[in-house]
Amino acid sequence: MALLTDHEKAVYEWQMWVPGFGEAGQQALKDASVLVSRIGGLGSVVAYELAAAGIGRLVLAHAGDIKPSDLNRQLLMTHDRLGTPRVDSATSRLKELNPRLEILAVPENVSDKNAGRLVGEVDLVVDCAPLFPERFAMNRQCVEQGKPLVDCAMYDCEFQITTILPGQTPCLACLYPENPPAWRREFPVFGAVSGSVACLGAMEAIKVLSGLGEPLSGTLLTCDLRDMTFQRRQLLIRDDCPVCGTSPKASST
Amino acid sequence: MQVTVEYAAQIKRAAGVARDVIELEGPCQLAEIARAVALIRDDSFAEILLDENRQPRPSILVFMGEEQVRWDDPNLRVEDGQTITLLSPVSGG
């Protein structure tokens, strides 16, 4: 464990003033690693906020090159890098902000094939993927490896966020026991909507990693930015969940 | 009895409204509420909410007040004046 340098203490001075966080919280962030999958409208802002906060290491997983339709919300992508890999643009932007940050850039989307390896690289996962099979793959591995999972999602002007703590809260498969048939990869969204929930997701990661405050464990926060309605809802563990359930029908695969 | 059904995310778009207030015989089970609102909305709404057997899809989250409830809870009855919320799953990107 490398201790905070004088330069880092100067950079993070204002957040170390937050009661309950302090130098110990900052050291916890420096020692921590987070997987952000993917780095689109949600993940770009999650990664940027975590880089700004002084996280030690980020694993960024996202396949493909930058398209014009990315640029309304994917804030780590730039116009001059259209047609180039998203992870390269993201790495460059994040390093501009925080050159001390260690980044593992993986030009792949999370799948059942790579989820075990990618989740195994980190202390916490922020799920920013647009497709449920990717989300389910991360959820399975987080439950299996006992890693916290911050699940962020949005549609139109609405967003949802919850924090999954394996063994303590419902997992994603408790909530959605099947692949939702109506969901499509492309959907209406403003960058300000994905950015809003992404900031909350980054804050959840900071809280879980540092012990600050109370995360949204077992609680779904929903928001409709059309009328600024925020609601907190309590979630149920599914005893027969095939991923985290404890009944005889459940298995860990 | 009268029940208010609120919608969030994709199912709200399919409904075209944020909520419906429906009249039906009660108390009743949650699945009856789902079928009742499906009748007053179009096919795209019904496809999101109900499966081919006209049962509520388990991936649609349902809440009474601030608490999640199970569609298949045998002991749960919806009563006059209650509000339930249907929330369709959303993802990121």
pLDDT band at A181 (very low <50, low <70, confident <90, very high): confident
Is the Cβ of B64 closer than 8 Å to some Cβ of chain A? no
Asked if A175 and A153 count as a contact pair (C-beta separation under 8 A), the reply is no
pLDDT > 70: percent of chain A? 96
Q: Of B67, B69, B91, which has the smallest distance from its Cβ to A130's Cβ?
A: B91
CA distance B8 to B22: 17
Taking an 8 Å cut-off on Cβ atoms, the answer to whether A185 and B93 are in contact is yes
Mean pLDDT over A176-195 rounds to 85
Q: B92 at the A interface (CB within 8 A)?
A: yes
In this complex, which of B8, B89, B92 lies closest to A42 when CB atoms are compared?
B92
Query: B67–A233: do the CB atoms touch at under 8 Å?
Result: yes
ipTM of the complex model: 0.94
Looking at residue A247, what is its pLDDT? 60
DSSP β-bridge partners for residue B23: B2
Digit-coded pLDDT (tens) for B17-73: 999 999 999 899 999 999 999 999 999 999 999 999 999 999 999 999 999 999 999
Question: Hey, what are A52's tokens?
Answer: 């700004």
pTM across the whole model = 0.95
Residue B40's nearest CA partner among B25, B24, B55 is: B24
Residues A38-52: tens digit of each pLDDT = 999 999 999 999 999
Higher pLDDT, A249 or B62: B62
Nearest CB among B13, B48, B61 relative to A175 is that of B61
**Residues of A numbered 223-242 whose beta carbons fall under 8 angstroms of chain B's beta carbons: which are they?**
224, 231-236
Touching check for A103 and chain B: CB below 8 Å? no
pLDDT at B58: 92
E strand or H helix that includes residue A172: helix A172-175
In sequence order, which residues have a C-beta less than 8 Å from that of residue A162 and are 6 or more positions away?
Answer: A150, A151, A169, A216, A217, A218, A219, A220, A221, A235
Structure tokens at B89: 């799953």
Specify the pLDDT at position A134. 95
